[in-house]
Amino acid sequence: MVRDYLDRISAHASLNAFIEVYKEEALLAAASIDDRFREKLPPGRLGGVVIGIKDVLCHKGHRVSAASRMLEGYVAPYSATAVQRLQDAGAIIIGRLNCDEFAMGSTSETSAFGKVLNPLDPSRVPGGSSGGSAVAVAAGLCMASLGSDTGGSVRQPADFCGIIGFKPGYGRISRYGLIAYASSFDQIGVFGRNLDMVAEVLSVIGGPDDFDSTVFPTKVPDYQVTIPEKRPFNLAYLKNALDHQGLDPEIRTGFEFFFEKLRKAGHRVDGVDFDLMEYLAPAYYVLTTAEASSNLARFDGIRYGYAGKPDQLVDYYRNNRSLGFGREVKRRIMLGTFVLSSGYYEAYYTKAQRVRRLVRARTDEIFSKYDFIILPNSPVTAFPAGQMLNDPVAMYLADIYTVFANLAGVPAVSLPLFRHSNGMPFGAQVIGNHSDEAGLIQVSSYFMSNFRMGD
């Protein structure tokens, strides 16, 4: 099986999904799983499952670069908890996957290793920032993959590539060994083609970890895809999201049709007011860039990262950071530094924190009456390549539907339910209450088996 995946990876090299493929190592790992089968020993819960990991996850003894020149040649001295747990369960890590530099972006075009192409239409982007992780699964180059989702980087590329992308709630999976973008938002997420695989991977990597105190202390259950007894569901959608002027009318119609089908099946589907819609993307970009400016301060060429020729100390830092980082990362460091600076802190950072608190309060209010919230993932299907590169504000605004779950800290999944007349897929985003990953997986499997449209 590993040979087969390796062949497929070479045949699809033009997609640029992998930064590095661990050929010899994956074959060796496969041989040792074969031995276990032969000796009738348990192969492990994920024995022989072939998995790719986004290039922001540390994997001991392997390079990790966040797709940046800044970390050229850097070798991880330890493994991320999620990666370690995969390996302990018998999974075979087949390689590291391309993404936007430091996970900042929505197109997978800002990588220092070149852009990633969408396998369904190579003239379009695969989404981002975890584009390589989505493409690897969509093109059948591995069985599942890990990405990270700070503001949609798992759900949006899953949406653009027609697969499942699951972002657990904040605190479900340890972030130990995940290169930080915005620490109060970042979560590791899982890509798969079916929910069984996603549920298995989540059951293995989730749960408490001594190395990350922000993880919930409760153990994760074995997530099951069995369809829940408790039905019908009370479902909410945000009226202000569906009425948004930027939403492709065909996506809106798709959702209206979906809601009708749900109602016919006996579920309650209500549109609820959500006045904070316009504040979501601005609050997200103020808070995440602020956190990023602090997280990325360590990459100065001395403690970490790209180092040029030492001359004058201040010039040395400046040159290292100027040459080591790409444009989008620099833009965000500057924006984040600005919103935290004296005189502007109250007007931007503090205000955005207040918005975040209101978003959380309103989310709790909605979940006191409803089981799940349904939203699009993106206002449009996969962007044409290059379209967003010179219009960062347009790119940021396209994140309105995904950043909501990260601001609130709740779990959310992108399910490939629809197809657009332009031939591209689009998904439904289903959002669960705090700590309800188990319920979210179950409702997702119910939706996937009964409400796939336009295939």
**Closest to ligand GLN by CB, 12 or 96:** 96
Q: Name the CA dihedral angle for 193, 196, 200, 206, rounded to a multiple of 10 degrees.
A: 80
Which residue has the closest beta carbon to ligand GLN? 153
Task: Kindly state the smallest distance separating residue 78's Cβ from ligand GLN, in Å.
Answer: 22
Catalytic residue among 65, 79, 108, 129: 129
Task: Kindly state the smallest distance separating residue 271's Cβ from ligand GLN, in Å.
Answer: 26
Task: Kindly state the smallest distance separating residue 278's Cβ from ligand GLN, in Å.
Answer: 17
Task: Kindly state the smallest distance separating residue 454's Cβ from ligand GLN, in Å.
Answer: 26
Structure tokens at 35: 């031995």
**Closest to ligand GLN by CB, 162 or 336:** 336
- Residue 30: CA count within 13 A, CB half-sphere: 17
- In the three-class reduction of DSSP (H, G, I as helix; E, B as strand; rest coil), residue 162 is classed as coil
Nearest CA among 358, 204, 339, 217 for reference residue 275: 358
Q: How far is 208 from 410, CA to CA, in rounded Å?
A: 17
Q: How are beta strands 144-149 and 372-376 bridged, if at all?
A: unpaired
Which residue matches tokens 């657990």? 168
Q: How far is 4 from 8, CA to CA, in rounded Å?
A: 6
**Closest to ligand GLN by CB, 86 or 292:** 292
| Binding site residues, ligand GLN, CB under 6 A | 103-106, 129, 148-153, 181, 288, 399
DSSP code of 70?
A: G
Residue 264 among the catalytic residues = no
Catalytic residue among 130, 153, 174, 378: 153
Catalytic residue among 54, 148, 203, 445: 54
Sequential DSSP letters for 181-221: SSTTT-EEEEEESSHHHHHHHHHHHBS--TT-TTS-SSPP-
**Closest to ligand GLN by CB, 65 or 153:** 153
**Closest to ligand GLN by CB, 46 or 335:** 335
By CB atoms closer than 10 A (0-12, 13-18, 19+), residue 360 is middle
Residue 427, H or E segment: strand 425-432
Task: Kindly state the smallest distance separating residue 435's Cβ from ligand GLN, in Å.
Answer: 21
Residue 129 among the catalytic residues = yes
Task: Kindly state the smallest distance separating residue 288's Cβ from ligand GLN, in Å.
Answer: 6
**Closest to ligand GLN by CB, 153 or 377:** 153
Residue 54 among the catalytic residues = yes
Catalytic positions, please? 54, 129, 153
